[in-house]
Structure 1
């Protein structure tokens, strides 16, 4: 998984702060530079929301949160960075001035990515000494949740830089969309601008209020767009005959005088007052932070629902989780250098508040979740990773026995260890122990697994490399005492 260790963010507004959140959530150290006196306060407010969202977004093991430093100067921010994200105001002269300063202090091979929502990268890089390393990486708010990032190269941008940047963003759980030709406002914002212009006319002409417009989107086509986009939605609208029938049926509408997209209402105080007043009536009962929380909670729910269907943005989240699981397994085996002759430390986390009941104690179902994560981590240790599953093999849990020994509350740290009780051909028996970070035992779980061919859906022997690794660990742990409680049934 291609990833960097150090990044810089220049500009700590809404987008810059969102980038900070996305980066540190992926274990990347960030130095941010913004001379505004309230920059740190604004960034910390965004991080409060991002941490709230990520606790619910995925249970995949994520990297330890990267460090965050508020640099006193631009030089301090960019000097060690492999990726430098520019999120300053949308003025060409300001951005070009920032690039001139960045090039004085940054490494010559550092990637410079602009968050601009519309300025052409060729214009941005016009005065640079090393224009080949600049591109546009245009995200969408909230940056830490929405996976789309539009990658736009300028005339002098290196193709290799585009490839490198795309890999970096993909490793952070994003969907890099490389725009094939440079154009103002790129792809998504040009589509949004069309909807925005038409919406302004509908409100100005008294046909709809701001709430009516939002309702039309969120209760109707917005739900379709969220998981299929525009063309795939219309393909379905064409029935069995598909897109060709849709085009033949609705193509003539293009000549009807419906839209006002070629015209713009006069942007005056009257229009501003009308739109702002209706928006206040619609949403003024909530603070901006409350609206952000509602937005993030809804996005997490949509992403999780789409992930269950392996569809659209949910597929991006699912692929990202697989990377996180595999990376966590690699870090356990490499960085921790575990002694396989002892129970293997497989999983650790801080208990989220969502896992607890009215007494603030972890729900009993979450004990099983911890053991499921432990088993999954062990399987990755022996080579049953995303690639192994994609090749058509896996282990299925067929029986589980859990004994609850103590309570644990929200925000306390826990970890698991995994011991091999038996490994014989298709069968694998594991013993998981859940501990509080202070070392006392919270629960034990015994699990029987069968190796299965996903093609035939029948039990099968594991592949040679997995079988050998499992045999190695089983032999090393064979001298261990049988753990207390193993083999017990409910009395």
Structure 2
């Protein structure tokens, strides 16, 4: 993948700050320019929320966080950057002037993206000397979680620029979608504008209040759209006959007087006051940062669920996350298996909100997930990585025995360590894992047996020499350790 080496963010508001967080958490240094006196605080708060969200989003090892440096001028900020993202307020003359200034000061090979949500790139690039490298990269909030960026070229944007932008977005976990022709508001905001306009009329006419309208979206078609979009959803609605049947059945509805999409509501003071009061009643008890954190938790849960879709290959935004994690694992520094007379430290993780059951404790299957993730860490430690699996060999779990000894609660920092048991010989890998809280409390143990299997042969075989060379010193070192308490136990055995 073609990666971004250094980024510059011009404008550090909601969108610009979230772009900076996306870059920094992908290990990219960011120069930031924003004359707002509170810019550093605002961007710092956005970055803190982004780091919290990524801690829930993925177990893949993130690279060292990129540095965000606030610069005294735009010219200073763009120096050395190969991706420059403009996110200043949505005014044509302001954006055009800023982009022209960026163009004059940037490196010749730098890509210049604008976060505009609706201005035409041809208008924005009018005064630039190198307009071929300027394009719209319109993201969705929060930029650090939602993976889409609409890539829209102007009349002078080169096709190579848009292709390069797509390639550079992939390693930071984003999907660049190229829009064929520029149009005001592009694709996403045109759809949002239609729903927004209809929603305003429904509030204006007292059909419902803001909370009811949001409930209708989030408890029904919003979830369908989140994983399948509009047309694929409607194809399914057509049954076995597909889209053609759907269009024949529901197409005539388009001429019925169901909508006011062509009739713009008058946003007078009375309607503004009504909407603001209803919104305050709906959400005003929570601060903006708390609402952002709740939003992030929900999005993380949806994306994690979608990552398991399509037989584990990922679906929609989950497929993008799976590809991002694959890139992170591939580029992460390799850990060395260092034999010692102590169990191996394999995993450290906090209990997520989605892991809590109705009793306020970590639900049972999350204990199993901790041990499964620790097993993956052990395998990577001995060289059983994605390339090894792709070559046709892997370890398969054949038996486990778990003891639940204490309760984990929301926010607890958990650690998993493992002792390799003497019965291990490479073909067979048997470990005894301990899950502890940060204060040392033992929460659970898991005795875990895996067999090394050749996918092509469909049977257990010895591992490769490199894997065995990493594993054998661990077997030898742990062979001198006393047997862990609880090893060899059976279900229901008295203590």
TM-score (norm 1): 0.83
TM-superposed CA distance for 1:401, in Å, is 7.3
C-alpha separation in 2, matches of 1:177 and 1:418: 47
For 1:225, the equivalent position in structure 2 comes to: 225
2:450 match: secondary structure: strand
Aligned to 2:318: 314
Paired residues for 1:284-433 under 5 Å: 284-309=284-309, 310-328=314-332, 331-332=333-334, 338=336, 347=346, 349=348, 351=350, 372-380=372-380, 384-386=384-386, 389=389, 393-399=393-399, 426-429=427-430
The one-character-per-residue Cα deviations of 1:253-289 (angstroms, maximum 9, x if unpaired) are: 1222222222212233233223223222322222222
Return 259-268 or 115-124, whichever deviates more: 259-268
Higher mean C-alpha deviation, range 364-373 or range 64-73? 364-373
Residues of 2 paired with 1:181 and 1:461: CA distance?
56
- After TM superposition, give the deviation of residue 163 of structure 1 in Å: 2.4
The Cα shift of 1:382 comes to 5.9
C-alpha contact 1:371 1:416 (8 A) present in aligned 2: no
**Equivalent-residue separation in structure 1 for 2:280 and 2:148 (angstroms):** 29
Partner of residue 122, structure 1: 122
Equivalent residue, structure 1, for 2:467: 470
Name the CA shift for 1:315/1:481 in 2 (closer, same or farther; >3 Å): closer
- Please list the CA deviations of residues 31-60 of structure 1 after superposition, one character each: whole Å capped at 9, or x if unmatched: 211100111222222223222222212222
CA distance in 2, matches of 1:100, 1:17: 21
1:272 equivalent to 2:309? Answer no
Comparing 128-137 with 338-347, greater Cα deviation is found at 338-347
Alignment correspondent of 2:159: 159
- 1:448 equivalent in alignment to 2:449: yes
Whether the aligned pair in 2 keeps the contact of 1:428 and 1:449 (CA below 8 Å) is yes
Residue range with higher mean Cα deviation, 11-20 or 346-355: 346-355
**C-alpha displacement at 1:63, in angstroms?**
1.7
Q: What residue number does 1:18 align with?
A: 18
CA contact (8 A) 2:9 2:84 kept: yes
The 1-side partners of 2:270 and 2:404 are apart by: 65
- Give the gaps of 5 or more residues in structure 1: none
Tell me if the contact between 2:422 and 2:478 (Cα under 8 Å) persists in the aligned partners.
Answer: no
Give CA-to-partner distance per residue, 1:371-424, whole Å, 9 cap, x none.
Answer: 64454245346664445546765321234579999x999787979689797886
Following TM superposition, by how much is the alpha carbon of 1:199 offset from its aligned partner in structure 2, in angstroms? 1.4
Q: Which residue does the alignment assign to 2:183? A: 183
Q: Summarize the Cα distance change of 1:413–1:198 in structure 2 as closer, same or farther, 3 Å threshold.
A: closer
Indicate conservation of the 8 Å contact 1:446/1:486, yes or no: no
Structure 2 matches for 1:226-241, cutoff 5 A? Answer: 226-241=226-241
Matches within 5 A, 1:180-219: 180-219=180-219
The number of aligned residues is 478
Map 1:17-56 to 2 at 5 A.
17-56=17-56
**1:479 & 1:16 partners in 2: Cα distance?**
53
CA distance in 1, matches of 2:351, 2:387: 30
Distance 1:227 1:35 in 2: 39
Structure-1 separation of matches of 2:420 and 2:105: 51
Q: Could you tell me how far 1:353 is from its partner in structure 2?
A: 7.4
After the TM superposition, which of the residue ranges 130-139 and 271-280 deviates more from structure 2? 271-280
